[in-house]
């Protein structure tokens, strides 16, 4: 496949895999405590927190990109603060991950939340009644019971992050991930590869898109396998 021999396409796909994987890892770190809190306890403000977590699923992602850049843009308060320490939150790998976490981490949080709600509370109560600490109980009783939901959330987060376009166009257009490269190739050269005087100008939007479909198909198959084992 021509996409595999084009340096720009390979670079963008590698960046997509890297940033989506990093996003999934961050989402798991955030999703476990947040999901546990929302799934186990009833407290004032819980509905508000739950609604905030679900906002990225309800708003257009171009709107999400505008919201992010008005907060983290280099000329804005937060963005200027980090820029003073040499950290760019726009048009940089860090900006890509920040954007992807915002639009896709919800999946990890909700998966953990639903798993905690479905977990028999007697399991933790028995552990605590036998003298185990809350930390021991969480890592040795709760986590072994919900780990498939954690993995499922991570896979869904990865898949969602790898397909993001709208928010990245505004917040972190460069370096281009695969979804943005595909759009650039389509807008500039059309669907198929472009060759001039024996020089390949474009690997073709179709070729890069087909490769991303295969990668995401593999992730989806993994997701279904995890789901099947969890149901069993």
Whether the per-residue pLDDT at 197 is higher than 50: the answer is: no
What is the greatest pairwise CA distance in the chain? 77
Confidence of residue 191 (pLDDT cuts 50, 70, 90): low
At residue 133, does pLDDT exceed 80? yes
Sorting pLDDT into bands at 50, 70 and 90, what band is 190?
low
Work out the number of other CB atoms within 10 angstroms of the CB of residue 111: 26
Please write the tens of the pLDDT for every residue from 149-160: 998 899 889 989
Q: Which two three-digit tokens encode residue 51?
A: 């609604």
Q: Which residue has the higher pLDDT, 52 or 91?
A: 52
Is residue 198 pLDDT above 80, yes or no?
A: no
Which pTM value belongs to this model? 0.83
How do beta strands 199-202 and 194-196 pair? Answer: antiparallel
Model pLDDT for residues 24-72, shown as the tens digit of each residue: 999 999 999 999 999 988 888 888 888 889 888 888 888 999 989 988 8
**What's the pLDDT tens digit per position in 13-37?**
899 999 999 999 999 999 999 999 9
Averaged pLDDT for residues 172-189: 84
Q: What are the domain boundaries of the chain?
A: 2-231
Query: Is the model's pLDDT at 211 over the cut of 70?
Result: yes
In angstroms, the CA 209 to CA 179 distance is 8
Q: Tell which CATH classification among 3.40.630.10, 1.10.3720.10, 3.30.70.60, 1.20.140.10 matches the domain 2-231.
A: 1.10.3720.10
Are 194 and 202 in contact by the 8 Å Cβ rule? The answer is yes
Q: What percent of the chain has pLDDT over 90?
A: 25
- Tell me, what's the pLDDT at 112? 94
Euclidean distance between CA atoms 73 and 75, whole angstroms: 5
Cα–Cα distance for residue pair 179/195, rounded to 1 Å:
22
Question: How confident is residue 200, by pLDDT bands cut at 50, 70 and 90?
Answer: very low
pLDDT bracket for residue 229 (50, 70, 90): low
Confidence of residue 174 (pLDDT cuts 50, 70, 90): confident
Neighbour tally for 10: CB within 10 Å: 15
- 92 vs 227, residue with greater confidence: 92
Question: If you average pLDDT over every residue of the chain, what do you get?
Answer: 84
Residue listed under structure tokens 């595909």: 182
**φ and ψ at residue 196, rounded to 5 degrees:** -135, 120
88 alpha-carbon distance from chain centroid: 20
- Nearest CA to 100 out of 23, 4, 48, 172 is that of 23
- Rounded distance, CA 180 to CA 157, Å? 18
């Amino acid at each position: 496949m021509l996409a595999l021999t084009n340096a720009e396409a390979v670079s963008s796909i590698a960046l997509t895999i890297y940033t989506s994987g990093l996003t999934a890892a961050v989402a798991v770190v955030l999703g476990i405590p947040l999901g546990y809190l929302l799934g186990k306890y009833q407290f004032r403000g819980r509905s508000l927190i739950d609604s905030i977590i679900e906002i990225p699923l309800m708003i257009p992602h171009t709107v999400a990109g505008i919201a992010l850049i008005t907060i983290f843009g280099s000329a804005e308060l937060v963005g200027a603060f980090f820029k003073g320490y040499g950290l760019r939150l726009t048009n940089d790998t860090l900006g890509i991950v920040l954007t992807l976490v915002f639009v896709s981490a919800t999946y990890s949080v909700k998966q953990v939340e639903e798993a905690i709600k479905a977990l028999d509370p007697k399991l933790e109560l028995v552990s605590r009644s036998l003298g185990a600490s809350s930390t021991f109980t969480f890592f040795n009783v709760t986590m072994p019971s919900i780990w498939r939901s954690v993995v499922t959330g991570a896979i869904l987060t990865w898949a969602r992050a790898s397909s993001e376009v709208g928010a990245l166009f505004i917040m972190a257009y460069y370096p281009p991930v695969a979804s943005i490269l595909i759009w650039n190739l389509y807008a500039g050269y059309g669907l198929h590869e472009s060759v001039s005087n024996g020089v390949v100008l474009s690997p073709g939007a179709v070729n890069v898109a087909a490769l991303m479909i295969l990668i995401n198909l593999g992730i989806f198959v993994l997701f279904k396998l995890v789901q099947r084992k969890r149901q069993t």
